[in-house]
Structure 1
Amino acid sequence: MVDASPPNGAESDSQTQPQVEQQKSIALVDDDRNILTTLSISLQAEGFATRVYTDGETALKALLDNPPDLAIFDIKMPRMDGLHLLQALREQSSLPVIFLTSKDEEPDEALGLALGADDYITKPFSQRLLVARIRAILRRSELVRATPEEAVQENLPEPVVRGRLRLDPARHLVDWDDKPVSLTVTEFLILEAMALRPGVVKSRNQLMDAAYSDDVYVDDRTIDSHIKRLRRKFRAVDPEFAAIDTLYGAGYSFSDG
């Protein structure tokens, strides 16, 4: 059984499951040790390896030094809450993140998605739903590690080239003028939806459908926040980047001219 009570917020690595090839690791960050224990046992039973952290500051260093495949954050925590943890993490990493929120934290929930979270689960939550969400996000993000040979074997999509943009859906890689741009799973899916049909205006609802599963409901203005983050990331490699157009009242489009 994983020890969900590490001293001073330090991590605890589960060793109860037999090691199998391609075993996915999940980091759990929550100051409630009972939740950590319950989640660890449940996820280990599903074949995942788990690490637990009881505060955001300790978790941040560990997530950057030794990234897991996915992380689950509580929002309300001492020292560094989940929102600040995500914000700091996104400055250096596109690690998939799921938020655990309470029903009275809906504004935080929307802000978390805008900051780059890939999904959220509302407490109290179904273990089955959580596992389903984890598997869906891992499936999308594991293509980052696919080699070109694996892409061919699995009949994965070919790279998409639109002017100075190159999207590789099989490996979740993005280049602009041959310079890499690191995107979260959600940001990638939004950009891909626009780039596949350059010049065609995509409504916020259409972009939400491309980026989120059917059982995730977000305010349409969350898409605006993702677009701002996309522009900021591309302008970090090209200050003149202007390929994402806004048609006010209608939506967004990608211009490859």
Structure 2
Amino acid sequence: MANTAQTPTPRGPSATTVLVVEDEPAIAQAIVHRLSAEGWRVQAAHDGPTGVALASRLQPDVVVLDVMLPGIDGLEVCRRIQAERPVPVLMLTARDDETDMLIGLGVGADDYMTKPFSMRELVARTKALLRRTERATRAAEIAAAEQPVPPIELGDVVIDRAQRRVTRAGNEVHLTPTEFDLLVELASSPKTVLTREKLLAEVWDWVDASGTRTVDSHIKALRRKLGPDLIRTVHGVGYAFEPAGGGDTADAAGGGPAGA
């Protein structure tokens, strides 16, 4: 029998569907209960293979995914889910390890939270992911109905917003949806320093400064894919896109959140 739990379908045929993949029953039950209180249809799986199967069957609007799972771990679950169909993923990790976070972002996660966490914050971040998805869908519909959005061309970087593709020096760079949105936000105001809080609000639709480490980790992921010279760190403030390079490469390779 599949190791799953579910809540009754809430009112309305178009209710938001959330998949929770968490192997600790008490935590899974608490998350399901809290998210169901938002009027969402929530189902849970307690191991990796079941999570992948449920994601394929349910086509959820968002996935809350633990990293440590029996069967296959959360990173592989995320990779398989994203390979079949892009979907916002909020990863849960018991370790505050930036390497794990970067790996999670690299396989397609949009955000992460470290245990223990508050249910209030979990709900807020889940809502933010859903709002971002709705905003991207509306933008795509508008773009299809109107004149094509011109690409952003800065130095050897070309950002095709219509097709959501990025190239550098003619070579395509594969970015996750969140990485792409973050790059567009920075590149839309080249050489302008954008605070972590502004980036968090504009890209993640999340206004609580407790999430600024998420910004730092995504900046690190962008640098690994695009090179360390395009995004400059302004310590204690935020980041700026530098189309001609000139960023502080020592900062770009730095380790802590302040010098991400």
Which category of TM-score, normalised to the shorter sequence, fits these structures? 0.5 to 0.7
Report if aligned partners of 2:5, 2:43 keep a CA contact under 8 Å in 1. Answer: yes
Task: Note the C-alpha offset of 1:140.
Answer: 0.8
SS state at 2:43 partner: strand
Report if aligned partners of 2:98, 2:217 keep a CA contact under 8 Å in 1. Answer: no
1:132 aligns with 2:115: no
Match of 1:215 in 2: 210
Match of 1:4 in 2: none
Task: Note the C-alpha offset of 1:128.
Answer: 1.3
Q: 1:192-227 CA distances to partner (integer Å, 9 max, x unpaired)? A: 1244246x4878969965645432132846423234
Report if aligned partners of 2:223, 2:230 keep a CA contact under 8 Å in 1. Answer: no
Letter in 2 for 1:218: R
Report if aligned partners of 1:72, 1:100 keep a CA contact under 8 Å in 2. Answer: yes
Match of 2:8 in 1: 15
Task: Note the C-alpha offset of 1:34.
Answer: 2.0
CA distance change for structure 1 residues 207 and 91 in 2, over 3 Å: closer, same or farther? Answer: farther
Please point out which of 166, 179, 188 is paired with 2:160: 166
Whole-angstrom CA distance in 1 between matches of 2:7 and 2:89: 20
Task: Note the C-alpha offset of 1:59.
Answer: 1.6
Aligned sequence identity (%): 27
Q: Which runs of 5+ in 2 are unaligned?
A: 234-239, 245-260
Report if aligned partners of 2:102, 2:221 keep a CA contact under 8 Å in 1. Answer: no
Report if aligned partners of 1:98, 1:118 keep a CA contact under 8 Å in 2. Answer: yes
1:29 aligns with 2:24: no
Task: Note the C-alpha offset of 1:254.
Answer: 5.2
Q: How does 1:59-70 map to 2 (within 5 A)?
A: 59-70=51-62
Match of 2:110 in 1: 118
Q: Which runs of 5+ in 1 are unaligned?
A: 1-6, 153-157, 232-243
Q: 1:109-164 CA distances to partner (integer Å, 9 max, x unpaired)? A: 34323443221222222111111111111101123433766689xxxxx8343356
Letter in 2 for 1:159: V
Whole-angstrom CA distance in 1 between matches of 2:231 and 2:99: 24
Task: Note the C-alpha offset of 1:28.
Answer: 0.3
SS state at 2:65 partner: strand
Task: Note the C-alpha offset of 1:69.
Answer: 0.7
Q: 1:57-94 CA distances to partner (integer Å, 9 max, x unpaired)? A: 22223324542110011111111111222233344443
1:226 aligns with 2:222: yes
Letter in 2 for 1:226: L
Letter in 1 for 2:181: L
Whole-angstrom CA distance in 2 between matches of 1:183 and 1:64: 22
Whole-angstrom CA distance in 1 between matches of 2:231 and 2:127: 36
Task: Note the C-alpha offset of 1:46.
Answer: 0.7
Match of 1:239 in 2: none
Match of 1:75 in 2: 67
Whole-angstrom CA distance in 1 between matches of 2:85 and 2:223: 18
Whole-angstrom CA distance in 2 between matches of 1:248 and 1:44: 40
SS state at 2:51 partner: helix
Superposed CA RMSD? 3.9
Letter in 1 for 2:221: S
SS state at 1:139 partner: helix
Report if aligned partners of 2:186, 2:194 keep a CA contact under 8 Å in 1. Answer: no
CA distance change for structure 1 residues 203 and 128 in 2, over 3 Å: closer, same or farther? Answer: closer
Task: Note the C-alpha offset of 1:175.
Answer: 4.7
Letter in 2 for 1:19: G
Match of 2:256 in 1: none
SS state at 1:17 partner: coil
Whole-angstrom CA distance in 2 between matches of 1:43 and 1:111: 26
**With structure 1 as the length reference, what TM-score do the two structures score?**
0.68
**With structure 2 as the length reference, what TM-score do the two structures score?**
0.67
- Aligned pairs, how many? 224
CA distance change for structure 1 residues 147 and 205 in 2, over 3 Å: closer, same or farther? Answer: closer
